[in-house]
Structure 1
Amino acid sequence: MAETQGNQGSSRANQGSPPANEAVHPADRAREAVVEAALGRLDLDAKARLLAGQDTWSLPALPEIGLKSLVMSDGPIGVRGVRWTADDPSVALPSPTALAATWDPELACRAGVLLAQEARRKGVHVLLAPTVNLHRSPLGGRHFEAYSEDPYLTGRIGTGYVAGVQEGGVGTTVKHFVANDAETDRFTVNNLVSERALRELYLAPFEAIVAGAHPWGVMTAYNSVNGTTMTEHRRLVDEILRGEWGFDGINVSDWTAARSTVAAIDGGLDIAMPGPQTVYGAALAQAVREGRVAEAKIDAAVRNVLRLAARTGILEGAEPAVTELPGTVDGEALAREIARRSFVLVRNEGALPLPEGHRVALIGAAARDARVLGGGSATVFPARIVSPLDGLTAALPEGSLTYAIGADPNEELAAADKGFELRADCRDVDGNVIGTAPVPSGHLQWMGNDLPEGVTYDTLHSVELTGTFTPRESGPHTFGVRGLGEFTLKVDGTTHFDGPQLPAEGADPFQAYFAPPAPRAEAELRAGEPVEVSLKYVVTLPESVTMKVIAFTLAHQEPQRDPDELIAEAAEAARAADTAVVVVATTERVESEGFDRKDLRLPGRQDDLVRAIAAANPNTVVVVNSGSPVELPWRDEVAAVLLDWFPGQEGGAALADVLTGAYEPGGRLPTTWGSLTDAPVTQVTPVDGELPYTEGVFIGYRAWQKEGRTPSYAFGHGFGYTDWTYESVKVEGGTATVRVTNSGTRVGREVVQVYLAPTEADAERPVRWLAGFAGVEAGPGESVEVGVELPRRAFEIWDETANSWAFVKGSYEVEAGRSIADLRVTTTIDV
């Protein structure tokens, strides 16, 4: 039987007023009065101008009402600031998948507090994060930037993150609203999603965060949902987000997503970014004068923007939402803590923690050149990066660690990095240097106002990356170029390439910035002997572009040795050690914004490497450095498998903490890991512009269990360094109380997971689903009880006929345990 609630679909006016049953705090009321007064002093042109970016990252100041310019910046693992430069480094936290793997909303809140601190330091008022789209298919190329396949876990972690950032007086934009779950054709795809799947899965994290953290902003996505592009989706934005849920923040477009002046403002879009060319501004004012848009629509949007400005403290006369800031956070320490708390030990046959005095062979290119974050707009430049080699060298006794590269996952040229010291020289048409800036790598990307001081687009004719390269190895080094336009490449005084680099016929020029670099030079170099290198680019910016971007890459590849020879050397090193630690990784060509994955395999010869090391040493530990699932065909052949995600700048130090046993690995899987062959949902490529979500509510573990398939590692799985006995679960008053005992020999932390399973099979509902979780800590032999709330929503489904939530009565198993596949205690309830 289903008990339906009243239809909540009626839309309140887009005024941002709280729901009728919510009390209004006096400070909020006073702030609203200032907002209304400021709004009343603006003319039409000023209001329309305020809704359009004045540049890539900011809105215009309006001195006549005491409004400063509001500044936004990319996140989610660090705060880039308005200039993408290493001159002003950013703390780089572990990836969002890692944060979700901690299953700890309070830790997510602490991460948010740190990021607010970073934002304030960089003059940023709004962080363009968090991403709460779901891991619908394992092929999603940007899944490292989202939390989980489960909407409840995503909502809990996202709520903590948003609460922390805003506790620090900085706004957030929960994104990408909604169903932006893959990268293929993301600008144009029309995702066809049932109302039930929208409500129960894809909208659910946004709804939870609105209810639990009261976010100050939401970012709407590029894609369409059921025929309407999200920047114009009145039903989802005005009727559901604002009307049903009571959201009173700003709705900002993803960058360049707004396409229509009238349709966007009618659809509830407040801010069109970036500027200065947008569909708002003068075009919006003109639409009002021509009677195509009601001025009240503009007033509603401006009211939302002024409310955000008031909350962040940049509207004169309004008290900021936060008047007492949190204490200073040590960024390096928190980054290290989150990393070790996120590592998921999915297999351990007694190899970890490393016994004291063991000789360790560390193997893998990613052990030396760490990949600590994903590619795309999430990229920041930390002041330091601790690699696994750095971390273990510092932690282990001198002489007990050896290193071998084994196999390099980078089969293509990558942005010039190790050994390069580069700067960017900007020149005018006469060849005069008009500005210069250091660059952290061979990848240069300037968006909008990122240009060096004194440089403008009007005067800029060419940019030259120039400096020195000191090789680590002798032999033939390959250099290349990524980008479109006229380039000149010089190495050690020799010009190797001078001409245009153009897209293939019929190719999307945008994809050129994600495509592999083109090899353009080979130079015989000697280790330790520096040479001069330069790559000159003649700037070409089409007049029609909305956002001015200068992006190109000086790429490099070290001398390529025979892979079999490298693997054999690594196997010899492993054979001579007590324990072999192999670090395998994905690359930026596998996981990045802008494209989806073609498969789940580790790139290069890394699978061969692991098998060779396992054959040479039975105590082989594999560390998997990826932001989302990869296939591990050798997983049963090794002694331990540890997932460390993209672990942030302190990843190597955290890895040493966990491998040596100073701390236990604290993570649990936020997403199912399995083979692509077995994965139930794999379609991410639209057909004729459309991508039907034919699986309905069955994604992630819901789909694996429906299909009766066994993954490599189940949702929620993960070991620590102690054992836990589950003794009982009982339910009273909507709370499940679980009693557990630490039956191991050391202090530990357990994530108690509670699932609901209808006792009568229902093909329209999952076999079971996550209803709640809680972390507990206990010493050896200590028993603890923890209460886990079972929210009403856990018993509800969306009734498409009644257009409302329906409470499903009946008998349920309440199951508690260590993962969805390892449930230890059960009780039955009738509701």
Structure 2
Amino acid sequence: MKHKEIIDKMSLEEKIAFCSGKSFWQTKDFSKYGIPSLFLSDGPHGLRKQVGENDHLGLNGSVRTTCFPTASAASATWDLELIEEMGNAIGKEAVKEEVNVVLGPGVNMKRSPICGRNFEYFSEDPFLSGKLGSAWIQGVQSNGVGTSLKHFALNNQELKRMSTDVLVDERALREYYLTAFEMAVKESKPTTVMCAYNKIDGIYCSDNKRLLWDILREEWGFDGAVVTDWGATNDRVEGFKAGLDLEMPGSKGRFDKEVKEAVESGILDESYIDKAVDRLLELIDRTTNTDKSIVDEDIHLKNHQLARKVAAAGGVLLKNEDKILPLKKDMNVTVIGELAKTPRYQGTGSSLVTPTKLNSLLDGISEYTKKINFAPGYTLGDYDNDDLIKEAVEKAKGCDKLILCIGLTDIYESESFDREHMRIPNNQMKLLKNLLNVNKDIIVVLVGGSAIEMPWADNVKSILHMQLSGQAGGLAAADLLFGKENPSGKLTETYPYKYEDVVNSSYFIKNPKLGDYLESMYCGYRYFETTEKEVRYPFGYGLSYTEFKYSDIDIRILDKYEIEVTATIQNIGDFDGAEVAQLYVAPQTHGAYRPVKELKGFNKVNLKKGEINKVSFKLDKRSFAIYSLDKGDWIVEEGKYYIQIGASCKDIRLEQVVELKGEKPVKSDCSEWYYSLKGIPTKKDFVTIYGEYPEYVPQTRGCYDMTSSIKEMKETSLVNKIMYKAMEKTIAKTNGGKVDYTNSRFRMIMDSASDNPMKSMPLFSPESMSVELAEFFVDTANGHMIKGLKKILKRSKSK
């Protein structure tokens, strides 16, 4: 051990305590050993450093820092250098604010478009997410600041995220859900990895030795520290055995006694604790040597402009009929939509940043023309207001250019709960319908952090999708509308025609405590391309004001699986611009089931009007490999593979075949569904690739345990129903006194509190919810109130 000298001086109690947080955001310090405290802060798209009241949901205030575009918007840049630059800027702000570890990035897969936290994740594709995550980490850590790759692993829903048990077959786990984490660990060496709340195959991530030790450390070579998501600790003794180093935010010593007893009884070897302490001391070494001189005095001004640059590069032009865009300066424009005045620029929850400044779409447009006619058209709450619609319609009649800003409001996307559908609010749809009656030339500026149904897309002239574009997003949108910037963003997730087209739509979160991933790795374009099902906008799609010509694909085999691919891209349009050339590998081996194609390379190239340039890609064994269950390793099946280069997964411009040596292709012994993808997969299909598993049994009176929540138990318990109502009233007091489930803040807090497993309640509020009180609610729900009361009385007497 590197820090053996210090560890030998520490008592067992001190070592155990060191592996648990000192406060909500800080680790423990031991001055007598020269051990300082570390400050950890939320921050995938900007720091959320709290210095007053603390929370893990973005409820209380935080210091002002730059709010960059969220991951869903930043990823649409497909620009690794720009993402690294953004990470570097966040790292410098961390140095300024004396933050040691920034909690990000999130590289979880977008298994379903209605996961409430998709705005915080990069993509539905693991290769793209892995590359973007690596670039972000490298940028942040270049300043001597740490990062925390999250949420490891399979945190793909918000409902019951603290207790759901994920059942996934091994190939989907390896080839789809873990790949982005593996790439980021190997390519960028994050200082920490954050384990998720959920279970995998019946074992909580915080206790999961296979996940945290066998795969993360032994296979991937991770040498940093593993930290829990806030309150994700399940069994601290098993956590030490699994390789969990730091419990956050700390449990006020709740687990320390049982860990010490486990060591003294021989259940837990003290060496596990020593190794965890050693890794935490190394984390301190890696993150406490920053130099404040690297921070410019005008850092926030510079970063505001960088946020504008990232947002512009990530803006996706989905439609531009009759080349209605770009607009001309100083022209008359009518702008409709409350979101143009009151921007939605980030998601709700733990990533909520207090921006240094904020520019709306109206602010941006005013830089190009002062001839603006504005009407709100709708309220941010989804309520009908015919007067607002009437005013907007009057202003839309006969106007020169009509810009309509619509999209998802706060209640539609948030941490702690999932979306109910993929539509924009009804009042916005009603407004659009009325506007189309008087003006067909509508330019839509769309906002929202995840995929949206657009049945209205065929009826408008242009759609510029800004997603959640950060504090300077309004300026960036105007830059794109008026042609200062040429749109170059590409979608990083599929936009289906309707939610029902998604393969897992009929069973996603239907049994939230048992997440059976029946579809295996067939998510997003992997499903839609393999089934040839049409979508509204495919993965990788995005238009430009110019056009690009692809030619001259060339393939050089450097070694057995080391291949270099080049192609020529020419800007043949009328504007300077940038194109994202995407490389897909399409296997023709007819062996194991697999998607018809997968992204294995991309290259963003800037080209002036008429300019020609080459793009190059490097492929290796993993570009062609699948995970062999028999060998427990990656193999390449012998046969032909098409190398495809295009502007999206559907718009393939160049193709060439290579023939590779390898393992003899063998058809998988599984249900035919995984080859045909006809219909919806069933549990009967799933057991052929996963094996037998326990059926989900809804908890009822007599069967509740500490993984149950107040929300579940109130259905059969009067005491828990009273507690639930008390929670509503208490939380309502922080939201104007009203119980309002259409308020995103109220719903997020309420869902998080009432649906929290009872085992976790004492971790978040040990002063108001003891372990005994939590057990009382469970005992009462099971019909054993007296038993629960005796535990509380026993604790009171022992004090």
Q: What is the TM-score of this pair, normalised by structure 2?
A: 0.78
Contact 1:72 1:126 in 2 (8 A): yes
**Matches of 1:609 and 1:754 in 2, distance apart?**
41
How do 1:431-470 and structure 2 match up within 5 A? Answer: none
- Quickly say closer, same or farther: Cα 1:579–1:373, change in 2 above 3 A: same
What residue in structure 2 maps to residue 812 of structure 1?
A: 641
What residue in structure 2 maps to residue 336 of structure 1?
A: 308
Contact 2:488 2:544 in 1 (8 A): yes
Secondary structure at 1:661 match in 2: coil
Secondary structure at 1:347 match in 2: strand
User: Do structure 1's residue 101 and structure 2's residue 76 form an aligned pair?
Assistant: yes
How do 1:308-319 and structure 2 match up within 5 A? Answer: 308-313=283-288
Among residues 343, 360, 381, which one is paired with 1:410 in the alignment? 381
Contact 2:495 2:536 in 1 (8 A): yes
**Matches of 1:327 and 1:160 in 2, distance apart?**
22
Contact 2:96 2:292 in 1 (8 A): no
Among residues 402, 426, 435, which one is paired with 1:604 in the alignment? 426
Letter of the structure 2 residue corresponding to residue 393 of structure 1: S
Secondary structure at 1:808 match in 2: coil
Contact 1:771 1:791 in 2 (8 A): no
User: Do structure 1's residue 759 and structure 2's residue 759 form an aligned pair?
Assistant: no
Contact 1:737 1:787 in 2 (8 A): yes
What residue in structure 2 maps to residue 681 of structure 1?
A: 504
- Quickly say closer, same or farther: Cα 1:574–1:755, change in 2 above 3 A: same
User: Do structure 1's residue 72 and structure 2's residue 43 form an aligned pair?
Assistant: no
Letter of the structure 1 residue corresponding to residue 219 of structure 2: E
User: Do structure 1's residue 231 and structure 2's residue 203 form an aligned pair?
Assistant: no
Could you report, residue by residue, the CA deviation over 1:728-771 in whole angstroms, capped at 9, with x for unpaired residues?
21111311101010001121111110111123556711111101
Secondary structure at 1:677 match in 2: helix
User: Do structure 1's residue 779 and structure 2's residue 608 form an aligned pair?
Assistant: yes
Could you report, residue by residue, the CA deviation over 1:583-630 in whole angstroms, capped at 9, with x for unpaired residues?
112122110000111100101321222233234223211111100011
Letter of the structure 2 residue corresponding to residue 830 of structure 1: E
Contact 1:81 1:123 in 2 (8 A): no
Could you report, residue by residue, the CA deviation over 1:36-77 in whole angstroms, capped at 9, with x for unpaired residues?
332232221211111001111111111122111011111111
Secondary structure at 1:589 match in 2: helix
How do 1:504-523 and structure 2 match up within 5 A? Answer: none
What residue in structure 2 maps to residue 221 of structure 1?
A: 196
**Matches of 2:432 and 2:253 in 1, distance apart?**
51
What residue in structure 1 maps to residue 134 of structure 2?
A: 159
Among residues 251, 266, 273, which one is paired with 1:298 in the alignment? 273
Contact 1:55 1:276 in 2 (8 A): no
User: Do structure 1's residue 130 and structure 2's residue 105 form an aligned pair?
Assistant: yes
What residue in structure 1 maps to residue 244 of structure 2?
A: 269
- Quickly say closer, same or farther: Cα 1:278–1:114, change in 2 above 3 A: farther
**Matches of 2:598 and 2:525 in 1, distance apart?**
8
**Matches of 1:299 and 1:765 in 2, distance apart?**
43
**Matches of 2:376 and 2:281 in 1, distance apart?**
55
User: Do structure 1's residue 589 and structure 2's residue 562 form an aligned pair?
Assistant: no
Letter of the structure 1 residue corresponding to residue 504 of structure 2: V
User: Do structure 1's residue 660 and structure 2's residue 635 form an aligned pair?
Assistant: no
What residue in structure 2 maps to residue 642 of structure 1?
A: 464
Contact 1:185 1:686 in 2 (8 A): no
Aligned residues: 642
Contact 1:681 1:703 in 2 (8 A): no
What residue in structure 1 maps to residue 719 of structure 2?
A: none
Higher share of residues assigned helix: 2
* Unaligned segments of structure 2, at least 5 residues: 55-59, 661-799
- Quickly say closer, same or farther: Cα 1:53–1:305, change in 2 above 3 A: same
User: Do structure 1's residue 194 and structure 2's residue 175 form an aligned pair?
Assistant: no
1:323, CA displacement in angstroms?
11
Could you report, residue by residue, the CA deviation over 1:757-807 in whole angstroms, capped at 9, with x for unpaired residues?
123556711111101001111111111001111232110001112211111
What residue in structure 2 maps to residue 704 of structure 1?
A: 528
Could you report, residue by residue, the CA deviation over 1:217-242 in whole angstroms, capped at 9, with x for unpaired residues?
00000000111110000011100100
What residue in structure 1 maps to residue 332 of structure 2?
A: 359
How do 1:369-380 and structure 2 match up within 5 A? Answer: 369-380=342-353
Could you report, residue by residue, the CA deviation over 1:302-360 in whole angstroms, capped at 9, with x for unpaired residues?
111001000112xxxxxx49899587852101111110011000111111111344321
**Matches of 2:594 and 2:437 in 1, distance apart?**
45
**Matches of 1:576 and 1:385 in 2, distance apart?**
32
Secondary structure at 1:395 match in 2: coil
User: Do structure 1's residue 42 and structure 2's residue 10 form an aligned pair?
Assistant: yes
Moved more, 367-376 or 787-796: 787-796
- Quickly say closer, same or farther: Cα 1:278–1:625, change in 2 above 3 A: farther
**Matches of 2:591 and 2:530 in 1, distance apart?**
11
**Matches of 1:768 and 1:689 in 2, distance apart?**
32
User: Do structure 1's residue 401 and structure 2's residue 372 form an aligned pair?
Assistant: yes
What residue in structure 2 maps to residue 257 of structure 1?
A: 232
**Matches of 1:283 and 1:394 in 2, distance apart?**
63
Among residues 317, 333, 336, which one is paired with 1:345 in the alignment? 317
What residue in structure 2 maps to residue 386 of structure 1?
A: 359
Among residues 770, 795, 802, which one is paired with 2:624 in the alignment? 795
Contact 2:528 2:535 in 1 (8 A): yes
How do 1:716-735 and structure 2 match up within 5 A? Answer: 716-732=540-556, 733=558, 734-735=563-564
Contact 1:52 1:280 in 2 (8 A): no
CA RMSD of aligned residues (A): 1.8
1:392, CA displacement in angstroms?
1.1
Contact 1:169 1:325 in 2 (8 A): no
User: Do structure 1's residue 205 and structure 2's residue 180 form an aligned pair?
Assistant: yes
What residue in structure 2 maps to residue 628 of structure 1?
A: 450
Letter of the structure 2 residue corresponding to residue 369 of structure 1: T
Contact 1:345 1:718 in 2 (8 A): yes
* Unaligned segments of structure 1, at least 5 residues: 1-14, 16-31, 314-319, 412-559
Could you report, residue by residue, the CA deviation over 1:417-449 in whole angstroms, capped at 9, with x for unpaired residues?
xxxxxxxxxxxxxxxxxxxxxxxxxxxxxxxxx
Letter of the structure 2 residue corresponding to residue 377 of structure 1: S
Contact 2:583 2:646 in 1 (8 A): yes
**Matches of 1:242 and 1:156 in 2, distance apart?**
20
**Matches of 2:653 and 2:280 in 1, distance apart?**
50
Secondary structure at 1:76 match in 2: coil
Contact 2:77 2:313 in 1 (8 A): yes
- Quickly say closer, same or farther: Cα 1:323–1:648, change in 2 above 3 A: closer
Secondary structure at 2:91 match in 1: helix
Letter of the structure 2 residue corresponding to residue 358 of structure 1: M
**Matches of 1:392 and 1:323 in 2, distance apart?**
37
1:812, CA displacement in angstroms?
1.2
- Quickly say closer, same or farther: Cα 1:206–1:358, change in 2 above 3 A: same
- Quickly say closer, same or farther: Cα 1:324–1:403, change in 2 above 3 A: closer
- Quickly say closer, same or farther: Cα 1:301–1:174, change in 2 above 3 A: same
**Matches of 1:810 and 1:140 in 2, distance apart?**
38
Contact 2:116 2:157 in 1 (8 A): yes
1:830, CA displacement in angstroms?
1.0
Secondary structure at 2:127 match in 1: helix
Contact 1:130 1:162 in 2 (8 A): yes
Higher RCO structure (Cα 8 Å, ≥6 apart) = 1
What residue in structure 1 maps to residue 571 of structure 2?
A: 742
- Quickly say closer, same or farther: Cα 1:237–1:336, change in 2 above 3 A: same
